[in-house]
Amino acid sequence: MTDPGADFTPVAELDYEQARDELSEVVTALERGGLGLDESLALWERGEALAKRCTEHLEGARSRIEAALNDDAETDDED
């Protein structure tokens, strides 16, 4: 891992599972240690972006579930 950002897919293009799995790999690499300062910082920044992407996916899923539940509740009220 000489250039931490060289082969990474842009974070915005990752689905939840891809972002979560890559975040896990980043955490493992950072915990293992043995990286230079610049590489560690680049991985940490990537990890922060991946965590934010995961949160965005989860918030989107929560919104969809809440919308579906609200639709069901409105349908039940009409009956």
| Distance from C-alpha of 58 to C-alpha of 65, rounded to nearest angstrom | 11
CATH number of 15-78: 1.10.287
Tell which wins on pLDDT, 46 or 4: 46
Does 6 have pLDDT greater than 70? no
pLDDT tens-digit series, residues 8-53: 899 999 999 999 999 999 999 999 999 999 999 999 999 999 999 9
Tell which wins on pLDDT, 1 or 22: 22
Q: Which single residue is written with the structure tokens 């990286």?
A: 35
* pTM higher than 0.75: yes
Does 3 have pLDDT greater than 60? no
